[in-house]
Amino acid sequence: MSRELIETGLAHSWTAVRIARHIEHAESVVLSARVARCHAGFAVMQFADDSAHLNLLAVRPEYRRRGIARQLLCWLHATAVTAGTFVIALELRATSAAAHAFYSALGYRECGRTAAYYQGLEDAIRMTRDLRVNDGVLRAPNG
């Protein structure tokens, strides 16, 4: 899914081996979202001492706009808070207006840009969210 939904036009870097390392790593969380028996989406987040980095988040086009990405992110936020980690960082392709709008709507704020970040081919937008800031834009499914 990463190759198809995230790494389009780039050399494939998120291989099965790399994902497996994150699954096995104690400071990473890898989530899979299913609708019925179909793999609808996934997320990978890695934790550090005082922050976390959202490495990947994707939902197949036919399952978008159903709240799946929001639920995955909400679960990761809850996990971060439980771990005492309150700052989440991520990068996204500068050309991805939909991703930028999604993260912005969920309280992420642009904190910079990096030229040629993606394999020297495409710029990245860096975004962060401080989970201690109660701006009311993201709530757990039960909250």
Residues 86, 80 contacting (CB under 8 angstroms): yes
Task: Report CA-CA distances (Å) from 39 to 2, 17, 31, 74, 105.
Answer: 12, 19, 11, 19, 25
- Mark whether 103 is an active-site residue: yes
Edge to edge, the sheet with strand 28-35 lists 28-35, 38-47, 51-59, 87-93, 122-130, 109-118
Catalytic residue among 63, 91, 118, 122: 91
Q: Outline where 25-109 has alpha helix (H).
A: 68-82, 97-105
Kindly name the residue from 7, 103, 117, 122 that is annotated as catalytic: 103
What is the SS3 assignment for 25?
Answer: coil
Tokens of 132: 């201690």
Active site positions, annotated: 91, 103
